[in-house]
Amino acid sequence: MEEKVIIERMKKLREHIELKYLKEKLDNEIQNNDCEKQVRNVKYIGNVNIEGETKEVYLIQEQEVENKYNVIKENLNCYTEDGVLVGRYLEYMDSIILVEQFKDVDDIYDQINKLDLNGKLDLEEIEKAQLERIANTLGIEKEDIESMSSIELAQKIEEKEYKEDEATQANQKEDEEKQNLNKKETKKITDGKQEIKLGTRVDETKTLGKVLDLNESEYSKVVIVYSEKLKKLQGENATINNTMYSFVAIKKDGTSELINDRLKVDERSGNDSLKDSIKIDADEKARKDNKTKTRFQVIGKNGENEGRSDYEKETLSVEPGQYGEIKAYYGKGRTTDNVNIETQLETSNIKPTSVELRKMQAERKGIHKESNEKMAKEADYYFNKGADEISMYSADGDKNTIVLADYIESNKEEIVTKIMQNEIIANSQFGKKDIEEKLKRVTDDEKTKTYTQEEIQEKINKIEEEIETDAGYFQTRVRR
């Protein structure tokens, strides 16, 4: 079997297990069980015969985190290609112990434990190697890979591949060019533009294909294109959105189709809007600005969503990025103040977004008008105090997920003033600058960890106690 087929299955298996964990998490939250699970790596170790049927077998490194006690536990579990748990690896026995379901299956224990448990293919190593190959293609030093923007890398390699592809197509036969006329028309408007696969998840469970009602057996992706290019290709009389960008669906045969019937320009913020919106980017940072150039409401294939309130219609928006790339966002409506809250989508130039980011759009949060109000209220607390960028947990609308770094930065003056009113500190050599440096050291160590309001206050009180202790110790040494 081709290696690339197995790699694709490894990725799908990782996604399958993560989705299973996500469903477990939803049930656990109802039971107040504070536990997180995630997949760290997938390894292909070979094939086994189970009751006459050949099955691929994978070792999956899983991490279990009990947030309440901050305990991390690593497990190595063995699965078949279709996500069935076969056994668990026990380090002290250096073997995979079968689960109850497979204990009586002939020869399977010996089959599995004779395989290379170090893995014939390692997904983590493969994905790192892919990034290194991109860097090598562009002449970038290996040491600089981590510091290089993934968006910038992807864009440069895409430009190189496009030039190579263009040169190859110039040598194709004339009859083949005529046969692929629709494909070439598609290429004229889509080359160099961001692609979004239909299987891309917009929230915890829903895909972009589901949102746009595009059948993934017929369509493969959507591409964001300049509307002006569509006009030039289809003529001035064509029905083209009067926006900077448009969405085009790409079929599996390489041809394209406009999907204007499924999208409606958001009249309040659709075209080069000056209206602020809250965006949560792939790096899990939230910001509030007016960079959106195009925003659409999703009305569905037959306009079935037209009856929804404008405050609760799903949206797709587009804005230009720092490196000239096009960034795409998904949202579930807006607040009563017409503020949209949207999360970034994975594209051909944006690395996969995290499950935690997609949870920001979770259906279980309830009616999204109410959810958006809570998220905007929390985020505005920090933005109104001058913050340009905050953690996404400071914009999730949950009062029990306060990020210490964001809170201290936004309330620094008040915290410093309160600490300086401490009599011991006030009578010491400690000044405002010393206290600010102490606060910075604390927040540098805890960039994303979240606390309840009560825990935040306890943290700040503890900082004050530490400064008071240092001040008292310093005074004692001075007197000596």
- Residues 262-287: tens digit of each pLDDT: 888 887 654 545 578 999 999 899 99
Q: How confident is the model at residue 313, as a pLDDT?
A: 84
pLDDT tens digit sequence for 347-368? 887 777 888 888 888 876 666 7
Contact assessment for residue 426 and residue 369, using Cβ atoms and an 8 Å cutoff = no
Tell me the CA distances in angstroms from 49 to 55, 111, 182, 183, 189, one per residue in order.
Answer: 6, 8, 46, 44, 49
Token pair, residue 326, equals: 């096009």
Q: How confident is the model at residue 152, as a pLDDT?
A: 53
Q: How confident is the model at residue 429, as a pLDDT?
A: 79
Specify the 3-state DSSP secondary structure of 47: strand
| Strand-pair partners of 328 | 318
Question: What is this structure's pTM?
Answer: 0.58
CA pair distance 60, 77, nearest whole angstrom: 5
CA pair distance 325, 194, nearest whole angstrom: 7
Alpha-carbon Rg for the chain, nearest whole angstrom, is 27
Q: How confident is the model at residue 35, as a pLDDT?
A: 65
With a CB cutoff of 8 Å and minimum separation 6, the contacts of 222 are: 195, 196, 198, 208, 212, 214, 247, 248, 249, 250, 259
Q: How confident is the model at residue 165, as a pLDDT?
A: 58
Quote helix, strand, coil % in the chain, to nearest 5. Answer: 40, 25, 35
Q: Measure CA of the first residue to CA of the last residue in the chain; give whole Å.
A: 79
Which residues in the chain show pLDDT less than 50?
30-32, 149-150, 171-181, 270, 272, 477-480
Q: How confident is the model at residue 181, as a pLDDT?
A: 29
For CA atoms 331, 335, 337, 343, give the dihedral sign. Answer: negative
pLDDT tens digit sequence for 34-65? 567 788 899 999 999 988 889 999 999 988 77
Q: How confident is the model at residue 208, as a pLDDT?
A: 92
Segments of 82-122 assigned E as strands: 85-90, 95-98, 121-122
Token pair, residue 427, equals: 């009578």
